[in-house]
């Protein structure tokens, strides 16, 4: 099952990387970054977690190759000439309790303000998503203390903030702070997730040289507002108890979304979920449609990173749910999706209850766009 998860994550990582237009069609500034990071492991407050936290003083290194978009098109200007690319993160020492966490990922970095692009100091935020590996998972005999993670292969996620200081056209210094997370999305328990809060110091080499003054501020075109019907199929798996097998977990969603701005869509819809295997999980009880199904109303928000790549975020409240399927009355969703054309899309999200993973949703879907209404931009 972890092989399936890893393939899904590599698929999404590939989408993130190859969603960049070809180098022949766009202008790019290639960059290379190297950083050293140090920070604490975050405990969940339990006694065994505090013991691991006290044993692990995280130290790591990170290397990234990126392409900063410098063409003066709308989305490049809107996001203040972002950088996309690939990277590799690794802990430097080996920790007997958690292993040597490593991650191969795709990333995006977005400056906060276009006014500071030609300044020596500028601030940005970033997101990294990929495959985490080389962890030492829970084992009842060999590693009983580590109840953070139950698998060697996991999702790797890192969000944070970055300060850049330009020395000259060739080199920049930077520092980052954020949260680094390893999780398998409850495909194999235990799965409290490993959370690290490193602070990094690094150096950036600009392989291609550009003049910061060439990154001009944005001129807003007319905003094309329209509605969209989204139909999505969710596929995944879930492990309910340590030592038990994993079971299929899936569902179907229908959402209506509306362009709220140049960057965001908002909407409302319904999600239906199925959790088969009830009789195997609860011997002696009968599995029915009711106790293996759930229905929810969900508020949706989509962050448009460009004309094809976007992040879906949702908050759902169940109209019907089952505590036997480890559901509470509400859930959260965040992920990444890619539009293959005007109608088809695919992606990966994580669905969670009270910030605890329910399952990874490998998603395929179909969009029916409505009529365009043009509104003059600011």
pLDDT tens string, the chain, 378 residues long: the values are 444 444 454 445 554 444 544 444 457 789 999 999 999 999 988 899 999 999 999 999 999 999 987 777 777 888 888 899 999 999 999 999 999 999 999 999 999 887 777 788 989 999 999 999 999 999 888 898 888 899 888 999 999 999 999 999 899 999 999 999 999 888 888 888 899 999 999 999 999 877 665 666 666 777 778 899 999 999 999 999 888 899 999 999 999 999 988 899 999 999 999 999 999 999 999 999 999 999 999 999 999 988 888 999 999 999 999 999 999 999 999 999 999 999 999 999 999 998 788 999 999 999 999 887 766 554
> So what's the pLDDT on residue 22?
41
Cβ within 8 Å of residue 254, ≥6 positions away: 229, 230, 231, 232, 269, 270
Q: Coil, strand or helix: which one is 317?
A: strand
Considering the entire predicted model, what is its pTM? 0.84
Could you give the CA distance from residue 357 to residue 331 in angstroms, rounded to a whole number? 9
Contact between 309 and 15 (Cβ < 8 Å):
yes
Q: What tokens were used for 310?
A: 């976007």
Q: How many Å apart are CA 1 and CA 84, to the nearest integer?
A: 30
Q: Which pLDDT value is given to residue 224?
A: 77
Token match 């009983």: residue?
144
Do 180 and 159 meet the contact criterion of CB atoms below 8 Å apart?
no
Percent composition of the chain: helix, strand, coil (DSSP 3-state, to 5): 10, 55, 35
E strands, 92-153, in order = 99-111, 121-135
Match 């959402």 to its residue by tokens.
Answer: 255
Contacts of 271 (CB under 8 A, 6+ apart): 251, 252, 253, 295, 296, 297, 298, 316
- Dist CA 125 CA 33 (whole Å): 15
Classify residue 48 by burial, with Cβ atoms within 10 Å: 0-12, 13-18, 19+.
middle
For Cα atoms 257, 129, 16, give the angle at the middle one, nearest 5 degrees.
65
Q: What does the pLDDT read at residue 72?
A: 74
DSSP-assigned letters across all residues of 36-105? EEEEEBPP-SSHHHHHHHHH-EEEEEEEEEEEEE-S--HHHHHTTS-EEEEEEEEESS-BTTTEEEEEEE
């Amino acid at each position: 099952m972890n092989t399936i998860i890893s393939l899904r994550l590599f698929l999404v990582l590939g989408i993130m990387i190859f969603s960049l237009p070809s180098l022949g069609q766009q202008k790019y500034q290639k960059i290379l970054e190297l950083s050293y990071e140090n920070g604490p492991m975050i405990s969940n407050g339990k006694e065994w977690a505090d013991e691991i936290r006290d044993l692990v003083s995280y130290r790591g290194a990170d290397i990234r190759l990126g392409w900063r978009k410098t063409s003066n098109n709308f989305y490049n200007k809107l996001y203040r000439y972002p950088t996309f690319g690939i990277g590799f993160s690794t802990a430097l020492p080996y920790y007997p309790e958690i292993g040597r966490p490593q991650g191969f990922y795709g990333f995006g970095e977005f400056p906060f303000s276009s006014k500071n692009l030609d300044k020596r100091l500028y601030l940005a935020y970033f997101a990294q998503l990929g495959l985490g590996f080389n962890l030492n998972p829970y084992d009842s005999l060999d590693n009983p203390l580590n109840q953070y993670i139950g698998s060697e292969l996991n999702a790797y996620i890192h969000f944070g903030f970055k300060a850049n200081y330009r020395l000259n056209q060739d080199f920049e210094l930077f520092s980052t702070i954020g949260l680094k997370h390893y999780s398998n999305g409850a495909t194999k328990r235990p799965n409290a997730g490993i959370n690290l809060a490193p602070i990094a110091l690094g150096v950036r080499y600009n392989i291609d040289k550009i003049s910061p003054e060439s990154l001009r501020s944005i001129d807003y075109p007319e905003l094309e507002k329209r509605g969209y019907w989204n139909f999505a199929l969710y596929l995944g798996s879930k492990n309910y108890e340590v030592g038990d097998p994993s079971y299929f977990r899936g569902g179907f969603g229908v959402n209506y979304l509306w362009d709220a701005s140049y960057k965001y869509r908002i909407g409302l819809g319904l999600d239906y979920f199925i959790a088969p295997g009830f009789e195997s999980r609860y011997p002696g009880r009968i599995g029915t449609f009711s106790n293996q199904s759930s229905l929810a109303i969900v508020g949706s928000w989509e962050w448009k990173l460009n004309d094809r790549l976007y992040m879906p975020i949702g908050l759902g409240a169940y109209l019907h749910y089952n505590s036997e399927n480890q559901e509470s009355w509400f859930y959260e969703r965040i992920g990444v999706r890619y539009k293959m054309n005007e109608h088809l899309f695919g992606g990966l999200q994580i669905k969670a209850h009270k910030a605890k993973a329910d399952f990874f949703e490998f998603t395929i879907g179909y969009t029916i766009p409505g009529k365009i209404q043009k509104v003059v931009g600011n």
